[in-house]
Chain A
């Protein structure tokens, strides 16, 4: 990828020094309002979150948020969080979903990209079809899979047809199967994005290098392992990072399919936060959870970026 970009030459106006400084100062003042606005938009919610997370504030208390300091409890929310089994189990479940979904999506996406990098009949139609799930609103996808996985739904019907016996699996009310079902929906919806990103990466692998390898007698597998994959390293890291971050935020289809249940069997971190926010209304605590996750995600992104620099 990096081989293909070349720096664009910048037009430079060589104004005399004093004039240039003057101009730059004017520029600073002219852009200041916009910069302040951007800074405010980016920073304010985070600062507010940090502030609230250090209090026991709830919208039911009748105290406006800026006077939340009256309920100052210091790091108590964080201490509670550290000992909250439901938080840890939601975090662990999120990790589990991620650990299954991301590799499966990457491998499926890679496999599809390999198929689509060469031309074949009907490629365009198939290509557009494969991308459809990505464009379905996640909530709608949730309803689709909610219906598919009903005990009297099409999936059980299909299984009945194949096995010849009446199958009535309670997909969404069995704790293990429910997790399986939501994972299937996530894979269905996001494999196309992986496919799209990885295909773009695969297409950018220089054709002449592959030709050179062929002429040197390298088999397809060897070329893939020694040329295509190493050259796609950056794009694979990007793809994985996007999915890891997105998987932390997975909510819509999970909530619609199972509401986090049965029990807490499919309760991911987002659903947990949603429930604490909307049902238990302890916002100081919510702020603390959200901040903890922000820190985790920042670390993940940083690791990904560092890996990418190395690649």
Chain B
């Protein structure tokens, strides 16, 4: 149980900047997901927390203690690797006991704690099986148990679900979440899957190209993306962004979206070129609506229907309830966006307005 502070943390590999000036504080017992596409610097960040990489600049502190230069064995960090890194030539029991043995814990104490953790993770029936032949969900629990048994202050998980098939991920997501509640440790979770981050994390840190773009609770990040990257990255499908111009007239401030029409009244603090953002789920079919786009494709996925919309220079998606009557391909779809759901971004800086 430790607070992690990263201050101006950065890592360069030659000319390549993997991480540039990261500032992030992860609270005691908090579950933070580092979210971003591959190459965004999330794994680099985690490896520096673990001590596998030395930072090029900046500092990491655990509960105020500077960690730069402290070898990874002495940081008290549990690490669950992407492929779990289970010692496949040993039994489940030997895997669980490994850390305790390495730390010179007494034999009876080891037996007790291994039994305890095995019970907690439902590994008791396979304690004496060789780890080589185990299924992925057992391997995952074993990997967590092997780290947890030495009671690390910090738990780092590096995309632990990326090797698991989709059907199983949902199961393991809830399993992981309940494990975190039991362990109450500070957890840092690296993932490129926004669904994992949204469902499990207390806070999400969205990263891209070595920069930290936004930190917030899942709903904050979803509802108030700090910039267009976060807007597009979070949500499936991501936020629609149409370029337009803020215009003021008698009926209030509106955004002129060219061929798509002119939006209803919006709250705008700034004029000029903007990106008009709205979630596909917020689209309201409205025969009298101010916006119109042509349907290029209709995707029916059970309870929901996704409309792919195009108009000169614009592309958007709309997610509708499948009960809602939808226009066919090639027809014009008229809709409106509730003013409260509109997010405006500066067209140049792509930051939220």
In the complex, the answer to whether A209 meets B85 with C-beta atoms within 8 Å is yes
Which of B73, B87, B88 sits near A214, CB closer than 8 Å? B73
Contacts of A226 in B (CB 8 A): 87, 90, 98
Q: Are the CB atoms of B102 and A212 closer together than 8 Å?
A: no
- Would you call A64 an interface residue if the criterion is a C-beta within 8 Å of the partner chain's C-beta atoms? no
B87, A215: Cβ atoms closer than 8 Å: no
B102 to A211, Cβ gap below 8 A?
A: no
Interface code B109-152, partner A: CB below 8 Å = 1, 0 otherwise? 00000000000000000000000000000000000001100100
A231 contacts B by Cβ under 8 Å: yes
Residues A217 and B99 in contact in the complex (CB < 8 Å), given A3-B88, A227-B87: yes
The answer for the CA separation of A209 and B85 in the assembled complex, in Å, is 5
Determine whether the beta carbon of A211 is less than 8 Å from that of B79: yes
- A208-B81, A208-B83, A222-B102 in contact; A215/B72 too (CB < 8 A)? yes
Cβ of B77 < 8 Å from any Cβ of A?
Answer: yes
Q: Shortest Cβ distance from B9 into chain A, in angstroms?
A: 20
Bound Cα distance A230, B150 (Å): 23
B70 CB–A CB distance under 8 Å: no
A219 within 8 A of B: yes
A104 at the interface (CB under 8 A from B): no
How many residues of chain B are within 8 Å of chain A by beta carbon?
23
Interface on chain A toward B: helix, strand, loop, or mixed SS?
helix
Extra 13 A-B pairs, beta carbons < 8 Å, given A208-B83, A209-B85: A208-B81, A209-B87, A213-B102, A214-B72, A215-B50, A215-B73, A215-B78, A216-B146, A216-B150, A217-B150, A222-B101, A222-B102, A227-B87
Max chain A C-beta neighbours (<10 A), residue from B88, B99, B102, B146: B102
In the complex the two chains form, is A217's CB within 8 Å of B85's CB?
no
Q: CB within 8 Å of A: which of B138-174?
A: 146-147, 150
Is the C-beta of A218 less than 8 angstroms from some C-beta in chain B?
yes
User: Given A226-B98, A230-B89, A215 and B77 touching (CB < 8 A)?
Assistant: yes
A211 / chain B contacts, CB cutoff of 8 Å: 52, 72, 79, 81, 85
Chain B residues in 8 Å Cβ range of A212: 79, 81, 85, 87, 146
- A residues near B86, Cβ cutoff 8 Å: 209
Residue B103 is within 8 A (CB to CB) of chain A in the complex: yes
A215 engages B98 (CB within 8 Å): no
- Say how far B116's CB is from chain A's closest CB, in angstroms: 17
Min C-beta distance of A221 to chain B, whole Å: 10
Nearest 7 pairs of A and B residues by beta carbon: A216-B99, A208-B85, A218-B102, A212-B85, A217-B102, A230-B89, A215-B79
B168 CB → nearest A CB, Å: 21
Residues in A whose Cβ lies below 8 Å from that of B89: 230-231
Chain B residues whose C-beta falls within 8 Å of the C-beta of A230 in the assembled complex = 89
**In the complex, A227 Cα to B95 Cα: how many Å?**
11
Shortest beta-carbon distance from B14 to chain A in Å: 16
Q: How far is the CA of A215 from the CA of B51 in the complex (A)?
A: 9
Q: How far is the CB of A61 from chain B (nearest CB, A)?
A: 59
B141 CB, min distance to chain A CBs, angstroms: 15
Assembly CA distance A219 to B146 (angstroms): 17
